[in-house]
Amino acid sequence: MKPINRSQKLSGVCYDIRGPVLEEARRLEEEGHKILKLNIGNPAPFGFEAPDDILKDVIHNLPTAQGYGPSNGLYSAKVAIHQYYQTFGLLDTSVDDIYVGNGVSELIVMAMQALLNDGDEILVPSPDYPLWTAAIKLSGGTPVHYVCDEASDWYPDLDDIKSKITAKTRAIIIINPNNPTGAVYPKEILQGITQLARENNLIIYSDEIYDKILYNGAKHIPIATLSDDVFCITFGGLSKNYRVAGFRVGWMILTGPKRLAQNYIGGLDILSSMRLCANIPMQHAIQTALGGYQSIYDLTADDGRLYQQMELSYQLVNAIPGVSCTRPKGAMYLFPKIDIERFNIKDDEQFVLDFLREKQVLLVHGRAFNWRKPDHFRIVFLPHHEELEQAIMALGEFLDGYQQV
Ligand code: PLP
């Protein structure tokens, strides 16, 4: 038999959060090492349990959830999502504007596959959540990264965005609250992005999966609420706010001039029906989650576990000589800067691997998030206090004297 090669569609497509650094962690585990994995925003393994009501509802509905369901989602789930966005003032929508998916991930790929022709450009933040860049490339598009500025609380640089718009640009992506930086965008920035989209006929894709994970009184504004003349797709889900990443439940909602997007929406419907339907039992969690007690706010309040861990890791990371980071306003990550001259770092993946091998803690290098220089890394602040403290102290010890060769 001849060698079997992957499709050319996959050239340049990567998702390094689960890439070579994780493979090395697995190899070390096979050798018997215990690895602390701070590479993935997966709350449940760190003891962040889902609200009881959600679990009960899924279990209760399991016996009647054995068949396929409607491609775009269960009616009750879509009604709950619709009502949720109505509370933010998204009034010109109906349940038909909602698509439920097996996580936001599936819907991101679907939204890109339905839109892009070869060579179409999409503006993507740098740093980004890399699935966006991967999905664009897989769909034949060209990701064009715009800068988010660390010196300005990691807000998108509107001038940079403007300078990168061409005749081929179809859309702009924002991630708000942001993974990996923890930024939460103020109204002026969102208005600026909306205005650029309006002037240049761009779609806005807004990934808002962390919309309830906010610290220190930060306010999240869904960008779709700021206009009714810009076509916008907003993404949300249960993975983070309700700590059920393994349930694989997410959604997207279409707003703005949908009449003009009928052809594209038809494409979304084709792709939605090709995967038959999203996981039915887990869709029963949506109504209970969105309508029930929002226990996430207990975790993000000043005395809440998530807030405390954010603050602890922020303080400890900033105490390491040669490392600094911005205080996150949302989400569950720090994206610290590392002084690459001081440690002679040329390759940030190598730095992460060296740290993993020496201290058995797994981070992700900044370039995995399409950041342009090898001078950042991402850390997940989900572990309990002691474990988090140990991991960050280990980083300090490791860096004391580290010189990349
Ligand atoms: N979008 C962002 C910004 C994320 O950080 C993640 C997961 O980490 C996802 C989407 C994927 O979400 P889901 O579990 O709904 O597929």
Domains belonging to the chain, first-starting first, are: 8-49+298-399 (3.90.1150.10), 52-291 (3.40.640.10)
Q: How many CB atoms lie within 10 A of CB 44?
A: 15
Where residue 369 falls among pLDDT bands split at 50, 70, 90? Answer: very high
CA nearest 147: which of 135, 158, 134? 158
* pLDDT attached to residue 91: 79
* pLDDT attached to residue 12: 87
The pLDDT tens digits for 270-291 are 999 999 999 999 999 999 999 9
d(CA 54, CA 135): 30
Q: Are strands 98-101 and 250-255 parallel, antiparallel or unpaired?
A: antiparallel
Where residue 20 falls among pLDDT bands split at 50, 70, 90? Answer: confident
40, 81, 104: which to mutate for ligand 1, most atoms within 8 A of CB?
104
Centre of ligand 1 from the C-alpha of residue 322, in Å: 30
CA nearest 332: which of 180, 184, 216, 185? 180
d(CA 82, CA 100): 11
Instruction: Determine contact, residues 187/305, Cβ cutoff 8 Å.
Output: no
Give the residue carrying structure tokens 């930024």. Answer: 183
pLDDT at 18 over 80: no
The pLDDT tens digits for 142-163 are 999 999 999 999 999 999 999 9
Which tokens go with 380? 């997940």
* pLDDT attached to residue 245: 95
- Kindly indicate whether the ipTM for this predicted assembly is greater than 0.85, answering yes or no: yes
For residue 55, give every residue at least 6 positions away whose Cβ sits within 8 Å of its Cβ, in sequence order, or none: none
**Could you tell me the sign of the dihedral formed by the alpha carbons of 93, 97, 101, 105, in that order?**
negative
Centre of ligand 1 from the C-alpha of residue 209, in Å: 6
Give the residue carrying structure tokens 């869904």. Answer: 222
Question: Ligand 1: does its nearest atom lie under 6 Å from the Cβ of 36?
Answer: no
d(CA 377, CA 367): 8
pLDDT at 17 over 80: no
- The phi-psi region of residue 326 (left if phi > 0; otherwise alpha if psi is between -120 and 50; otherwise beta) is beta
131, 247, 249, 364: which to mutate for ligand 1, most atoms within 8 A of CB?
131
* pLDDT attached to residue 231: 97
